[in-house]
Structure 1
Amino acid sequence: MLTKKVVGNLKNAIESDLLAISIGVIYLWFGSLKFFPALSPAENLAKNTIHELTFGLIADSKSIILLAILEVGIGILLLLKLWRKTTIVVALFHMALTFTPLLLFPLDSFKEPPLIPTLLGQYIGKNFVIVAALVTMVKKDPLEKKTLTNKS
């Protein structure tokens, strides 16, 4: 019985680590591109979205750098297993915001709204998989310490 529980905990830890590594690499990679003008295919969409969401209070040139810092930070924290629960919550909030262009800029996101996405729409759509993986990580997070001893 104890062996089954230990094996189950180990399996959850490995699965959670694999998800954290893969999502961390994506965040680090895609976020790094935003530090260099015109390298990220989502740069203009990101700038336009942030401009709309902040009512133009943040300059586009600064907003893309702030987004790059956020994304690279999430990636590094996931890869280093630091503050995982908090990082996942921040990443989920970020992911929620990545869907706003579907509403703000439907003609950039869809060839024929709402069923035929453009390449940018597909880029946004892949985030559903990242959200599912982040939610799975919250449920399987091995950093939540649970004791095996029975206290009565």
Structure 2
Amino acid sequence: MSTLSAHTGLHPVPHRDPADRLAPLLARASAAEAVLKAFLLRWSIPALRVALGAVFVAFGVLKFIPGVSPVEPLVQATWGVLTFGLVGGQLAMVLTAVIETVAGVALISGVFARFGLVMLAVAFVGIFSPIVFFTSELVTAAGPTLLGQYIAKNVVLVAAALVVASRVLRGPRSTE
């Protein structure tokens, strides 16, 4: 009999490894993580597709209304450069609004998502062209202007479009 049990009448508790007590909790956490992963695999890219589409619809619709979009002068100037002066002014805004809105609606619907991605590819050419054509209006010695920041954030939209394209485009699926 141990000294503890002789003095107190208590029997010593067998030593249990703390990991033994954590094992059921870890198993439940692992199962919950697996459920979450399955949910994310099913819904994250469709959610990203709809969110991307909504962003393009929102910003595209603004361009239909003269004087509302903060990038109106830049859009008009970019179209002028890209089309060698053939398209500019309000026509440039309407064309941009149509491209962005149609792309957004196509992505939101999911039915025409491939078409929407093609429209986005066209839009991204126009969106990033000012970096080449109007650098001085986008970046100063102090850093990017507000307009430059507005364009720079589109890198995230391109990345989102690439993720959506990985699911939407035909071809072999990843085994991951």
Bigger Rg, structure 1 or 2: 2
List 4+ stretches of structure 1 deviating above 3 A: 7-13, 143-147
Measured against aligned partners, the alpha-carbon deviations of 1:66-110 in whole angstroms (never above 9, x if no partner) come to 111111111111111122123113212311331110110111111
Q: How does 1:1-152 map to 2 (within 5 A)?
A: 11-112=40-141, 116-141=143-168, 144=170
CA contact (8 A) 1:13 1:140 kept: no
Report the CA distance between 1:8 and its aligned residue: 6.9
Q: Counterpart of 1:97 in structure 2: which amino acid?
A: G
Q: CA RMSD in A?
A: 2.3
Give unpaired runs (5+ residues) of structure 2: 1-35
| Count of aligned pairs between the two proteins | 138
Measured against aligned partners, the alpha-carbon deviations of 1:106-142 in whole angstroms (never above 9, x if no partner) come to 1111122xx811011001001100000111111233x
* TM, length-normalised to structure 1: 0.81
Q: Counterpart of 1:108 in structure 2: which amino acid?
A: E
Give unpaired runs (5+ residues) of structure 1: 1-6, 148-152
* TM, length-normalised to structure 2: 0.70
Report SS of the residue matched to 1:44: helix
Report the CA distance between 1:21 and its aligned residue: 1.4
> Quick one: distance in 2 between partners of 1:66 and 1:45?
14
Deviates more, 1:128-137 or 1:16-25: 16-25
Report the CA distance between 1:18 and its aligned residue: 1.1
Cα gap change, 1:146 to 1:53, in 2 (>3 Å): closer
Report SS of the residue matched to 1:19: helix
CA contact (8 A) 1:12 1:140 kept: no
